[in-house]
Amino acid sequence: MKALLLESIHPFAESILREAGFEVETRTGALDESELIDALQGVDLVGIRSKTEITSGVLEKASGLTAIGAFCIGTNQIALEDAASRGIATFNAPFSNTRSVVELAVAEIIAMARRLTEKDSSLHDGVWDKNSKGSHEIRGRKLGIVGYGNIGSQLSVVAEMLGLQVFFYDTDDKLAMGNAHRCDSLEELLETAEVITLHVDGRSGNAGFFGAEQFAKMRERSLFLNLSRGFVVDYDALRENLLSGHIAGAAVDVFPTEPKKRGEAFESPLQGIPNVILTPHIGGSTEEAQEDIGRFVASKLRDYISRGTTTLSVNLPSLSMEERPGGRRITHLHRNTPGVLAKVNSILAEHGVNIEGQLLNTRGENGYVVTDVAQLPDAAVADLKAMPETTQLRVI
């Protein structure tokens, strides 16, 4: 089987897949739609990060694709429902780089509070500017976290250890960590906190949700961070608030449009503004995080292909069944309609196949059943594939 890994995925992923018997091709950059369609011909597994988009058009042409690995947290760059309807399992790394993003956020909060980038630039320009004006400790300051998921909640804990007072807002009912205080509305958070940091997910409904109206409600001389998604924030509005002095500093790691390859030109309305830290989407880009992401996602892809395990899949029913020595394993993805399991078992019985183990799970419109058998005639496989409900059938 063949695997294609794009966007400089950690070599650990390549080694795991090669050990599992895959022929692996690696590329450093992202691909556009037409390039990706060509590259996926004859490919069984594809691994991407945040810049490559796997659209419905790509999936339609990638007839041999069995699974997708998103070697990052977000999966909004993948047409997940379409992938599921075609029986293509998708896995991501929801936990592996949370600490890296948290540490970057803390570092940037301290850097902005102490105006370190400006002091650094002055010295590089040969100007000795030793004074305390505009420099503050973060101890005792009020941090507002928008989005209290894996990253936001871990940031909450670390920030409190550094002496920050933590407030958070999330559309879901989340349990507060430590002494963090939950705000009932975004407006309450903006009026309370002196530092606002965004850690929301990439769902389409979050596009443009933080703009001029929200910046106006922030406290005077606040600090602002976005390490979530570039399309969440109106950066022209942020620029206006920085130039007016209403916002004292900003740190941005994600942008609406980002270069696909290292070294390509980059433009932003935030360039050239004092006390603004711009980083090239490196929140999760530490060696430790990328190694762990490579291990985690590649292992999920390997286990899906070799055992049919879908634990933590983002688009298919989650299922894991203990391996049995010898025999064959049938993995059957299907449309979630009544009676499918009975049909599967009836076909197996008609061909004299004894079932040694079986598990079924469903998720929305999709169902997934794994069946272990001692022997499996080709005619039984053909009949299972011919079921009108079948999306994908594999025999392991």
What phi, psi does 46 have (nearest 5°)?
Answer: -130, 140
pLDDT of residue 244: 98
pLDDT of residue 344: 98
pLDDT in tens, 219-243: 999 999 999 999 999 999 999 999 9
Residue 210: strand pairing partners: 233
Where are the CATH 3.40.50.720 domain residues in the chain? 1-96+287-315, 98-278
pLDDT of residue 146: 98
Catalytic residues, by residue number, are 229, 258, 281
Sheet holding 355-363, edge to edge: 355-363, 366-373, 328-335, 390-395
pLDDT in tens, 9-45: 999 999 999 999 999 999 998 999 999 999 999 999 9
Angle at 53 between CA 51 and CA 55, to 5 degrees: 175
Cβ-based neighbours of 43, under 8 Å, separated by 6 or more: 2, 3, 4, 62, 64, 65
Mean pLDDT, rounded, for 96-100: 94
Query: 127-165 burial, b for 16+ CB within 10 Å, e for fewer?
Result: eeeeeeeeebebeebbbbbbbbbbbbbbbbebbbeeebb
pLDDT of residue 161: 97
pLDDT in tens, 68-91: 999 999 899 999 999 999 999 999
What is the number of alpha carbons within 13 Å of residue 135 lying toward its C-beta?
A: 12
Instruction: For residue 2, give both structure tokens.
Output: 């063949």
DSSP class of residue 314 equals: S
CB atoms within 10 A of CB 56: 12
Beta carbons of 9 and 27 less than 8 angstroms apart? no
Residue type at 137 in one-letter notation: E
Beta carbons of 256 and 230 less than 8 angstroms apart? yes
pLDDT at 274 over 90: yes
pLDDT of residue 185: 97
* Domain range 317-396, its CATH number among 3.30.70.260, 3.30.70.360, 3.40.50.720, 3.40.50.2000: 3.30.70.260
User: In what helix (H) or strand (E) does residue 368 lie, and over which residues does it extend?
Assistant: strand 366-373
pLDDT of residue 202: 85
pLDDT of residue 165: 98
d(CA 79, CA 298): 20
CATH architecture observed for domain 98-278: 3-Layer(aba) Sandwich (3.40)
pLDDT of residue 324: 86
Cβ-based neighbours of 244, under 8 Å, separated by 6 or more: none
pLDDT of residue 140: 97
Instruction: For residue 312, give both structure tokens.
Output: 């933590």
pLDDT of residue 176: 96
User: In what helix (H) or strand (E) does residue 165 lie, and over which residues does it extend?
Assistant: strand 165-169
**Helices 98-113 & 150-161 angle (0-180, nearest 10):** 50
pLDDT in tens, 282-333: 999 999 999 999 999 999 999 999 999 999 999 999 999 998 888 999 999 9
* Domain range 1-96+287-315, its CATH number among 3.40.190.150, 3.40.718.10, 3.40.50.720, 3.10.20.90: 3.40.50.720
pLDDT of residue 91: 98
Cα–Cα nearest to 60, from 41, 46, 47: 41
pLDDT of residue 387: 98
Give SS3 for 192.
helix
